[in-house]
């Protein structure tokens, strides 16, 4: 099992990487599957160099903590989840503790994350299911994880990849947006996206690929106004020009987490 993620140090600014910009958006409409694989892997190589510290941004020390944190991350930020989980994890260190929790007390802790009543319900049911079916231990298989309350494929792959070292692709909103912008797929269905993108890369790269695309989506390739002029993979991106292409204007859009 890999080392758990804990609070990270301040990241170095990401706006200073070398960027080669095309004059206009590249066109890859007629590329073969082999050409797509080569382009996708080249983009991933550059993103690997751009985000050498890419990682799961949820703080945890064991599979149960990561599973709960990932469930709580729906409709909120990882930063917000990391603010409430120290209190939550200290009060409920086991699946049994979640199952036996006082609903009002847990709701008060989870309120800042939004949808706190539904999340409280999911976490309490999760604890009970783990106690009833797995002796309170988080299972390490996809087919078992997805049967747990509040746990879909995205959450399961986060847990597998980061708590168990089992490669998995996490198709969150950032990942899905970027692979479509990159022209790696046109699919919208998360499960189809997971399988199609997985076929472009070696299985060993899946977990870190997810982290790097999510890092890029949060820092540069924003939903409404991507920083195209400060993008290290612009020369291979058919969506170049969706956002400002002027390097100075684009640099102002790059977000540097504290």
Q: What is the DSSP-derived secondary structure letter of residue 210?
A: H
**Helix 33-50 crosses helix 206-219 at what angle (to 10 degrees)?**
70
How many helices and strands, by DSSP H and E, does the chain display?
12, 0
The residue from 154, 203, 246, 255 that is catalytic is: 154
Distance CA 44, CA 144 (A): 30
What is the pTM (predicted TM-score) of this model?
0.87
**Angle CA(40)–CA(184)–CA(152) in degrees, nearest 5?**
110
Task: Based on the residue annotation, tell me whether 154 is a catalytic residue of this protein.
Answer: yes
How far apart are alpha carbons 51 and 61 in whole angstroms? 23
The pLDDT, as a whole number, for residue 9 is 39
Q: How much is the pLDDT for 5?
A: 53
Q: Dihedral through CA 25, CA 34, CA 50, CA 83, nearest 10?
A: 100
Q: Of 172, 189, 224, 255, which one is the catalytic site residue?
A: 172
Q: To 5 degrees, how large is the angle CA 256–CA 182–CA 258? A: 10
- Token couple for 173: 């909103």
Q: 210: Cβ–Cβ under 8 A, 6 or more apart, which residues?
A: 157, 161, 168, 169, 170, 175
42 is catalytic: no
DSSP 253: T
Radius of gyration over every alpha carbon of the chain, rounded to an integer in angstroms:
19
**pLDDT per 10-residue tile (average), the chain, 258 residues:** 47 55 82 96 98 96 98 94 98 98 97 96 98 97 96 96 96 96 96 97 97 97 96 96 96 84
């Amino acid at each position: 099992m890999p080392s758990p993620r804990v609070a990270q140090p301040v990241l170095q600014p990401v706006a200073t990487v070398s960027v080669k910009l095309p004059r206009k958006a590249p066109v890859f409409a007629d590329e073969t599957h082999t050409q797509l694989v080569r382009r996708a892997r080249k983009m991933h190589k550059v993103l690997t160099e751009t985000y050498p510290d890419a990682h799961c941004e949820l703080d945890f020390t064991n599979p149960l903590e990561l599973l709960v944190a990932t469930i709580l991350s729906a409709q909120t930020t990882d930063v917000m989840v990391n603010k409430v989980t120290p209190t939550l994890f200290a009060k409920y260190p086991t699946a049994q503790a979640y199952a036996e929790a006082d609903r009002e007390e847990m709701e008060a802790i989870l309120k800042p994350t939004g949808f706190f009543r539904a999340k409280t319900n999911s976490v309490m049911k999760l604890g009970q299911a783990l106690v009833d079916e797995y002796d309170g231990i988080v299972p390490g298989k996809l087919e078992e994880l997805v049967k747990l309350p509040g746990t879909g494929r995205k959450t399961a792959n986060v847990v597998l990849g980061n708590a168990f070292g089992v490669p998995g692709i996490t198709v969150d909103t950032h990942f899905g947006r970027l692979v479509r912008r990159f022209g790696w797929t046109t699919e919208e269905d998360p499960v189809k996206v997971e399988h199609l993108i997985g076929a472009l890369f070696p299985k060993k790269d899946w977990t870190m690929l997810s982290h790097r695309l999510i890092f890029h989506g949060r820092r540069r390739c924003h939903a409404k106004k991507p920083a195209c002029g400060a993008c290290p993979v612009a020369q291979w991106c058919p969506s170049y020009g969706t956002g400002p292409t002027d390097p100075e204007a684009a640099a102002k859009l790059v977000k540097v987490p504290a």
